[in-house]
Structure 1
Amino acid sequence: MNKITFVFISCFFILLALYSGVSEFNTTVQVVPAIAFIALLGIPHGAIDHILFLEKSSWSPLVFYLFYLGLIGLYVALWLVAPALSMALFLALSAYHFGQSQFADLSFSRMLKPLLYFAWGSTVLSGLIYFNRSEIAEIARSNEEMANLSAVMDPQFYLILLAVSGAIVAGILIFGLSRRMITFERLAIEVFVMGLIQFSFMVFPILTSFTLFFVVIHSLKVLSDEYDFMLNLRTKFSIGLFLKMLWPYTLLSLFGSGLLLFISYMDWLPISNLLLVFILISVLTLPHSIVMERFYKKRGA
């Protein structure tokens, strides 16, 4: 069992103890810790995209930033003309990205790797949506903009996706075990972790359970991979230097997001805070996922 799995299990049982005997936590109690942990660990995991991409690259910084910001601009435009399609694309990108960070170290074929990535991430997201369908429906009833995205949030579709994607993941991992591409211990841990992820979606509110997954299972894993990569490239590299690399764009992202949310809150922007959060996360996910695709290929080369 690695350290990240141990942290996830520990956090799960701490939350279980906090939630036991409490029928419902108010929104503030959920939102404040979620924002804090996402700000401290979630946002930083994408704060050195420029460094990871430009390392051993022929691209100039100017070309990279034009590419990165151009993708963000195109995705914002897509949200304005086709919000449901944009949400579907966001979920698909997130599914692949989550699965990639979980299994990039395995030596599967070029065909099986992307399928495993997408299926594992789809299992996570479909469970999140299906097991929190009542909460999502309540949000849609109170927010017209989110109600317009209800076609992308059909619970029955995600129940089927949960079963199908889960079966695909199981099949690929069992195949990997038979070919000695994965150990039985790793397989058992992956099954246990996925079970705990799904159970957390059942027993905790959607914001709490997603934050637990996103911060611990995903962001900590990516930060660890990024640190190890830089450690192998640079002499006298340390955690202090790594944190120094993370903070500039972390602060910039927090400031920019906070400013846009404030503008929305003041009704100076005709978009609700909730929809704006989805837009902000999704438009950053697109270029970030492309950078990480290149990063994991470079790391495995």
Structure 2
Amino acid sequence: MGADASLESTTAPERRASRLSLGFGGLTVVSGLVIVAAVDSLPLVYQYLPLVATVVLFGLPHGAVDHLVLPRARNNPITARSLAFVGLLYLVVGASYAVVWFVAPAAAFALFILVTLFHWGQGDVYALLEFVDADHLETRASRVLALFVRGGLPMLVPLVAFPDQYAFVAETLIGLFDPAGAAALEPVFEPTARALVGVGFGVLVVLSLALGYYRADTLEPWLIDAGETLGLVAFFAVVPPILAIGLYFALWHSIRHILRTLLVDGPAIAALATGNDLAALGRFARDAAPLTAGALVVLGGLALLVPQTPATVPGVAALYLVCIAVLTLPHVVVVSLLDLEQRIWTVD
């Protein structure tokens, strides 16, 4: 944990964060499965609702405190130098990746999937270690395996279960820059390729859970890990991917990262310790507001620059996802530095 989070007084906030993390995780899976069970065929426009409706609630804000988290984790003051570092990181890395979308959109989409797999996986490794005390992830290799399994669930299971919708999403993102560009990815959606992905990833899931069970000193953390993993397998295998990703991004990944940022912020820790979740979240919202507004400016700029102006809900959602992609790459760098600071990949 960060410097503040290592103090004895953070025990109660960590427990509160753990309960919120698990609660919202359960809500993600249950809500998606209930929607699918209750509605025979949900119109496409409604499947986009969770993604679009949470743009300024969770989507853009969850990474909008990147300029604060590293100093807070190190118990250092926020300085012009620390702010300039993150600003320059976003400018150089984000802008460079934006250029890739314009010159090689199919490659940019593939990179987006890989980066998201890594990032969502690293977010869940943190949650398992810090919120669940997963002692079965005692080695660096087991944590790397958990990263690929947890990140692969939202990125690979829909590829196997819903290839047509997956291809549609790829076409809408790539089509903003090159209407014919998605053809380069067609081999990925062929039955043979998907079968290889399904078998290979299935082996990794089984291996991760089996090794975790073998290494677990206490069974409860492993049961939580196994329950979440298998629940997500069912979730992404049954819930249409546009709806599933919208729910997962907002209620699972973003919430867990927001909780992580709260646990390196002294006043937020104090609020969580007294059960005042609204005060903690209010502080986060205040801190995230400036860069959330900045992200909206980036979104507006992309809307003006893309060759194909989006005129439909899928097109607008695609533009938003491209914006998220551009912002995610520098965000991953910050989170990876935070991982190092909090010794997520250090084993005793």
**Does the 8 Å contact 2:60/2:324 carry over to 1?**
no
**Does the 8 Å contact 2:121/2:148 carry over to 1?**
yes
Aligned-partner Cα distance in 2 for 1:64–1:137: 34
* Letter of the structure 2 residue corresponding to residue 28 of structure 1: V
Aligned-partner Cα distance in 2 for 1:112–1:15: 29
Question: Partner residue of 1:154?
Answer: 189
1:42 aligns with 2:59: yes
Question: Partner residue of 2:239?
Answer: 204
**Does the 8 Å contact 1:75/1:283 carry over to 2?**
yes
Q: CA offsets per residue over residues 157-177 of structure 1, 9 Å max, x none?
A: 344334323433443444344
1:94 aligns with 2:116: yes
Aligned-partner Cα distance in 1 for 2:108–2:82: 30
Question: Partner residue of 1:291?
Answer: 334
1:69 to 91, 98, 101: 91
Question: Partner residue of 1:85?
Answer: 107
Aligned-partner Cα distance in 2 for 1:277–1:233: 29
Q: CA offsets per residue over residues 96-139 of structure 1, 9 Å max, x none?
A: 11111111225533444334313331233100222121223456
Note closer, same or farther for the CA distance 1:169–1:290 as it changes in structure 2 (3 Å cut).
Answer: farther
Aligned residues: 298
What residue ranges of structure 1 are gaps of 5+ in the alignment? Answer: none
For residues 11-50 of structure 1, the aligned pairs below 5 Å read 11-50=28-67
Q: Note the C-alpha offset of 1:218.
A: 1.0
Q: Under a length normalisation based on structure 2, what TM-score does the superposition of the two structures give?
A: 0.72
Question: Partner residue of 2:159?
Answer: 129
Aligned-partner Cα distance in 2 for 1:260–1:199: 35
Q: CA offsets per residue over residues 172-207 of structure 1, 9 Å max, x none?
A: 4443443346x4222222222222223222332221
Aligned-partner Cα distance in 2 for 1:157–1:125: 15
Instruction: Determine helix, strand or coil for the equivalent of 2:42.
Output: coil
1:168 aligns with 2:204: yes
1:6 to 16, 23, 31: 23
**Identity of counterpart residues, as a percentage?**
23
Q: Note the C-alpha offset of 1:264.
A: 5.1
Aligned-partner Cα distance in 2 for 1:25–1:202: 16
* Letter of the structure 2 residue corresponding to residue 44 of structure 1: P
Question: Partner residue of 2:322?
Answer: 279
Q: RCO greater where, 1 or 2, for CA within 8 Å and sep 6 or more?
A: 2
Q: Under a length normalisation based on structure 1, what TM-score does the superposition of the two structures give?
A: 0.82
* Letter of the structure 1 residue corresponding to residue 156 of structure 2: S
Kindly report the root-mean-square deviation, in angstroms, between the aligned alpha carbons of the 2 structures.
3.4
Q: CA offsets per residue over residues 72-115 of structure 1, 9 Å max, x none?
A: 11112222333232222221111111111111225533444334
Which of 43-52 and 154-163 deviates more? Answer: 154-163
**Does the 8 Å contact 1:8/1:217 carry over to 2?**
yes
**Does the 8 Å contact 1:120/1:165 carry over to 2?**
no
* Letter of the structure 2 residue corresponding to residue 288 of structure 1: H
Note closer, same or farther for the CA distance 1:48–1:128 as it changes in structure 2 (3 Å cut).
Answer: same
Which of 139-148 and 186-195 deviates more? Answer: 139-148
**Does the 8 Å contact 1:34/1:211 carry over to 2?**
yes
**Does the 8 Å contact 2:109/2:170 carry over to 1?**
no
Which of 135-144 and 92-101 deviates more? Answer: 135-144
For residues 172-191 of structure 1, the aligned pairs below 5 Å read 172-180=208-216, 183-191=218-226
Question: Partner residue of 1:214?
Answer: 249
**Does the 8 Å contact 2:94/2:327 carry over to 1?**
yes
What residue ranges of structure 2 are gaps of 5+ in the alignment? Answer: 1-17, 273-278
Note closer, same or farther for the CA distance 1:162–1:236 as it changes in structure 2 (3 Å cut).
Answer: same
